[in-house]
Amino acid sequence: SPSGNVHGMPLACCIGQGPRALTRIYGYAPKVGAGNVALIGVREVDQLEKPHVRNSGVRAFTMRDIDERGLRAIMEDAIQIASAGTGGFHVSLDMDAVDPREAPGVGTPVRGGITYREAHLAMEIICDSRNMTSMEVVEVNPVIDEANRTAVLAVELVMSAMGKRIL
């Protein structure tokens, strides 16, 4: 990665962008069609990576999109994108997407992120779609977390994605 931030490289490699030694693991690329990838809650992208994101075929929904259209509409679009022509979708829950006031224990905190309530709503909408096949949580750093708040929130969000409801 020209920026030195390697955490974006796994997705790039999965959509066939990057070093051949990584993109062609198991002899084929891409592993995931870029047209089936949606990023939600984007609020900061390295300058050198912006043209790659713009030209990749990945759909990036920024916080402005969420503010203007509402989270439900964004989630419905994202689920449609991820589900089109597939047997389901994977969710990579990047805790950096959540506002650092709610999730302080992350590697790259940027204010203006998804709120606690928005994060739960997003996971509930994902659950309601019944198309999620797998999930991972990334960017939780317990060393810099405050009283384990980020880790606890991550567990709560996974539970919402798996069907936990208020009633």
| pLDDT at position 166 | 81
Provide the whole-model pTM. 0.92
- CA dist 100 and 53 (Å) reads 24
Token readout for 15 is 């959509």
Token readout for 55 is 């030209």
Q: 3-state class of 114 per DSSP?
A: strand
Contact between residue 160 and residue 127 where contact means Cβ atoms under 8 Å apart: yes
| pLDDT at position 46 | 86
Give the model confidence (pLDDT) of 11-65 as tens digits.
Answer: 999 999 989 999 999 999 999 999 999 999 999 988 888 998 999 999 999 999 9
What are the structural domains of the chain? 6-161 (3.40.800.10)
Give the model confidence (pLDDT) of 93-143 as tens digits.
Answer: 999 999 999 999 999 899 999 999 999 999 999 999 999 999 999 999 999
| pLDDT at position 89 | 98
| pLDDT at position 167 | 78
